[in-house]
Structures are given as C-alpha cells and as structure tokens.
Copies of this chain bind each other. A is one copy, B any other.
Amino acid sequence: MIKRPLTKALILSLGFMAGSAAADQLLDRARSTFEPIPKYPPVIDGNELTQSKVELGKMLFFEPRLSSSHLISCNTCHNVGLGGDDYLPVSIGHGWQKGPRNSPTVFNAVFNAAQFWDGRAADLAEQAKGPVQAGVEMSSTPERVVSTLKSMPEYVERFGDAFPGQDDPVTFDNMAVAIEAFEATLITPDSEFDKYLRGNTAALNDKEKEGLALFMDRGCAACHSGVNLGGQEYYPFGLVERPGGAILPEGDRGRFEVTQTASDEYVFRASPLRNIELTAPYFHSGAVWSLEEAVAVMGTAQLGTELNDSEVQSIVAFLKTLTGNIPEIRYPIMPPSTATTPRPTDIVP
C-alpha cells in the first residue's frame, strides 16, 4: 500500500521534473537569446522623457502641417491604431507618390540599434527628420517646419516648456527630439512571450513552445534575437537562395545605398518581429501578405531549409505570442493655424 503511491508519485514526479527540466531548458535557452520588452520606456541618452516633451512630441507626431500638403503626418504611415504602420506594401505620400520600401512599425522602434531598413539613421530623432523632408513622403523643409511651428503661439510655448533654458527652442532638431521622446513611449510590454520569459511557462502552449524551439533550432534567432527579435544587425537578404524579384526587387540594393560597399549589396536590417501579426505585408518590399509565406520564404532564402507546413504553423503560432499591449493614446488637440502659418501646397515638385 505504501509503495504504490510512492512509486506513482515518483513516476509522476520524474515525469513532471523531466517535463519541467525540458521546459526550463527551453526557457533558459530563450532567456539567453531574447529579452522581454521593459514595462516602462527606456532612458535615452540626452533626451529626458519629460511630460511636456512627450506631449509635444505626440502633437508633432499627429501634426499634418509638418507636411507641405497639410495632409500627411507621421501617424499616416505609422498609424498607432494599426500596429504602428500602414498595412500597405509601400506607403503613399505627397502627391500620391509611392515610397520605395514598406513602412516599419513605430512600436518598440526605440529598441532598434538603428532606424530604417538600411539603418541609415542612428536613432529615432535622426529618423524623424527623414520623412518630413522626403519628396515622396511629407515633402517639407526644415525652414518651412520652423515657420509653421513658430506661427502658432501654443507651439512656441510648448517648445519652451519642453526645452527649458534654450534661447530659441523652436528648431527642426528639437522637433525631432520631441518626436523621439513620444515614440520612446510607444512600447508594447506584456506579450505572452514576455510573460514566458519572465517565468510564467504556462503563457505559451505546446504548439507555441514548439515554434519557439524551432525558431532557435533552425537558426531564425541568429538574426532575430534580443528585445525586438531583430532590429540590431544587418544581413544579406537571400543569404542562401535569392527570393524572386517581387520579394527582393533588383533595383533596391539595401544598405549598399548607404555605405557604397559591395558586401552591403542587398543587405537589410533584420526586421524586428514584435507584433509581427499586426504589421502585414512583410519584407522591405511589402510583397508578402501572409505570415506563413513570410516564414517559409525566410526558411529557403536565409536558412536553406524547406520548413514543412507543421513547422511553419508552429513558428507562426510562436510569432503571434509576440503581440504585446498596444499603448493607449489620447488624440492630441492641435492649435489653429494663424495668419502667418504657411499655407498648404499640394503641388508635386
């Protein structure tokens, strides 16, 4: 009588320990490769996230008068209600022109090592200056932006509050710094995967754990690691096998355009995978709408592996655990234009 329960208990216990040990092993491996999104925005060197600066940055993020047409704001292509991007293959900008690449999500972008698909901006403040001036995006100029902001007394006051002690706080650079401060608050903590990383092993189901294991075993995590599962390093797209021209158009040579170095041809920043289920279509070309297809393409192009359907499904199930809590954003109320605010111009140069 006394033995059976003991034996049973022992078997159960061993089984549990084995399962637990395997689970812990998976968790340990995951913890050595990935990091959870922190609960609070990170500290940015030289850009303290004061309330007045973050609030100003939010106004500027939603401010269509930063574009020369007065129609396009940061939020047009980085829509905070749509996963932080625009659900388009490539964005539509000034004059209905199409941009060259798929718009990356603004969520968690603060954790990327550099910004843009080719990493040509070191940080979000530098990034923010790009689209405002790009002819195919917002098509404005630093001078026009400063004139616009200085024409509205509320902005002048808010820049003063956000950048205290400066003689002339309303500058193009400070615009970008304020936008960076706001964007740094756009983080999505508490995904199921992050709960798992923090020790709640029940946060992932078996299929999702299988996907996580495959993601590490097959080599995905070699490029997609860290807090954003990507966004840190540059890699050639088509490392093993070049995908077709729809997915990897010949004309866009990626980081080569920045460095003019032959080894950077078709090199792109590994895409950050946080909230990936919310940010179709995929790749810098935005050519692939299905996450399953995107995973399969990565298998052949980057890893030289034909992932079978079940493996793809498991990896996709895992990737869907990367969806975190989307930040709550109160729509900012922007001040009215004044007699000196530059008028909108919708003419395409």
Which residues of A does B touch, CB under 8 Å?
Answer: 59, 62, 64-65, 69-71, 76, 79-83, 86-89, 92, 95-96, 98, 277-278, 280, 289-290, 326, 328-334, 336-337, 339, 343-344, 346, 348
Q: Could you say which of B71, B96, B280 contacts A88, with CB atoms under 8 Å apart?
A: B71
Q: Could you say which of B59, B62, B336 contacts A278, with CB atoms under 8 Å apart?
A: B336
| A339 adjacent to B70 (CB under 8 Å) | no
Q: Which residues of B contact A348 (CB under 8 A)?
A: 96
| B277 adjacent to A336 (CB under 8 Å) | yes
| B333 adjacent to A330 (CB under 8 Å) | no
| A83 adjacent to B336 (CB under 8 Å) | yes
| B87 adjacent to A65 (CB under 8 Å) | yes
Given the contacts A87-B65, A87-B70, A344-B87, A289 and B339 also touching, CB distance less than 8 Å: yes
Q: How far is the CB of A346 from chain B (nearest CB, A)?
A: 6
Q: Which of A59, A289, A290 has the most CB of B within 10 A?
A: A289
Q: How far is the CA of A96 from the CA of B348 in the complex (A)?
A: 10
| A64 adjacent to B92 (CB under 8 Å) | no
Q: Could you say which of B76, B81, B98 contacts A346, with CB atoms under 8 Å apart?
A: B98
Closest to A325 in B: B333
Contact sample, A vs B, 14 pairs, CB 8 Å cutoff: A70-B87, A71-B92, A80-B331, A81-B333, A87-B344, A89-B344, A95-B96, A98-B346, A280-B336, A280-B337, A289-B337, A289-B343, A328-B330, A330-B331
